[in-house]
Amino acid sequence: MSVPTIELDDGYTIPQLGFGVFQIDPDDTAQAVQTALEIGYRHIDTAEMYQNERGVGEGVRNSGVDRADVYITSKLNNSFHKPDDARRAFDETLTKLGSDYVDLFLIHWPLPTLYDGDFVSTWRTLEEFKKDGRARSIGVSNFQIDHLERLARETEFTPAVNQIEAHPYFTNDTVRGYGAEHGIVTEAWSPIAQGKVLGDPVVTRIAEAAGRTPAQVVLRWHIQRGDIVFPKSVTPQRIKENLALFDFELGDDDIQALTALDKGEAGRTGPNPDVFDYLPS
């Protein structure tokens, strides 16, 4: 069962399904990543703020899979948006991963209420990493349309991706639509809303009819919408289940029924990027 790839605006390709490691204990990360790679995943999504990049690097090395065959994403810590801090933090990411490049590096949050609203100089710093080849692709996360428009006006590169919260309770279709029109691929974070959508009667009805699990149905909905997903699990059976998405298809009616579960802003499980201002100490 092979995972499709998506071509990014900069010519690189990314596997549409990966493995997320948010909230995996640093001590457990190497084993979880190794398990995922053994099961067949080839795309890992981490971040400086998850504090488990070292485990990701270790898991890849322990798996015996070539670094070149694994797509690795990391993201800038909110505390390091100033250019010199971002440069130091990016060096640290590469050291922790034990790699001389990342496939994709993101600004984790726009933080429009901090740093005088200046995520533009942060983005220009990521452009340096792209130019020197240490980040093959660069992108953003949790950017709203006005943030993306500002980058379009004031900077050189278009973000290859925008990683945003999206699932049936919060489809986030306006931001997704802007991305689709501007060559920015959407990555959907918390794709199963950290489990909250799995008991929904619409989800369980479609899952029963398809002979699939609720998680598979929701993840397949994302795949058919064309987004990139990386569900997180530390449970080997679930890690396996979440990869088995490419031997069935949902009909248009099912896709529409899942999309109709959208609750708008009330459906968010995470913070609103316009006001989120968390800085780790």
Ligand X SMILES: NC(=O)c1ccc[n+]([C@@H]2O[C@H](COP(=O)([O-])OP(=O)(O)OC[C@H]3O[C@@H](n4cnc5c(N)ncnc54)[C@H](OP(=O)(O)O)[C@@H]3O)[C@@H](O)[C@H]2O)c1
> Is the CB of 156 or the CB of 248 nearer to ligand X?
248
Instruction: For residue 252, give both structure tokens.
Output: 């248009």
Binding of ligand X by 142 (CB under 6 A): yes
Binding of ligand X by 233 (CB under 6 A): yes
DSSP for 110-159 reads --TTSGGG--HHHHHHHHHHHHTTSEEEEEEES--HHHHHHHHHH-SSPP
Among 185, 230, 226, 222, residue whose Cα is nearest residue 10? 185
> Is the CB of 64 or the CB of 226 nearer to ligand X?
226
CA 86 vs. chain centroid, Å, equals 20
Q: Which helix (H) or strand (E) holds 203?
A: helix 201-210
The minimum distance between CB 240 and ligand X, in angstroms, equals 9
- 272 neighbors 221 (Cβ within 8 angstroms): no
Give the separation between CA 173 and CA 182, rounded to whole angstroms.
Answer: 14
The minimum distance between CB 25 and ligand X, in angstroms, equals 11
Helix (H, G, I), strand (E, B) or coil at 258: helix
Binding of ligand X by 231 (CB under 6 A): yes
Strands (E) located in the chain: 5-7, 13-15, 19-20, 43-45, 71-76, 102-107, 135-141, 161-165, 185-189, 228-229
Binding of ligand X by 242 (CB under 6 A): yes
Q: How many amino acids of this chain bind ligand X (CB under 6 A)? A: 29
The minimum distance between CB 46 and ligand X, in angstroms, equals 7
What letter would DSSP give residue 54? H
Q: Draw the binding track, 25-54, toward ligand X (x: CB under 6 A; -: no contact).
A: --------------------x---------
> Is the CB of 53 or the CB of 254 nearer to ligand X?
53
Sole window of 18-26, 79-87, 144-152, 249-257 interacting with ligand X (rule: CB under 6 A): 18-26
Name every residue whose Cβ is closer than 8 Å to that of residue 205 and which is 6 or more positions away in sequence.
none
The minimum distance between CB 35 and ligand X, in angstroms, equals 11
* Residue in 238, 244, 246, 262 binding ligand X, rule: CB under 6 A: 238
Q: Draw the binding track, 83-122, toward ligand X (x: CB under 6 A; -: no contact).
A: -------------------------x--------------
Is 50 assigned a catalytic role? Answer: yes
State residue 17 phi and psi, 5-degree precision: -120, 135
Q: State which of positions 191-230 bind ligand X (CB under 6 A).
A: 191-195, 198, 213, 215, 230
Residues in contact with ligand X by CB under 6 A are 20-23, 45, 108, 141-142, 163, 189-195, 198, 213, 215, 230-235, 238, 241-242, 270
Residues involved in catalysis: 50
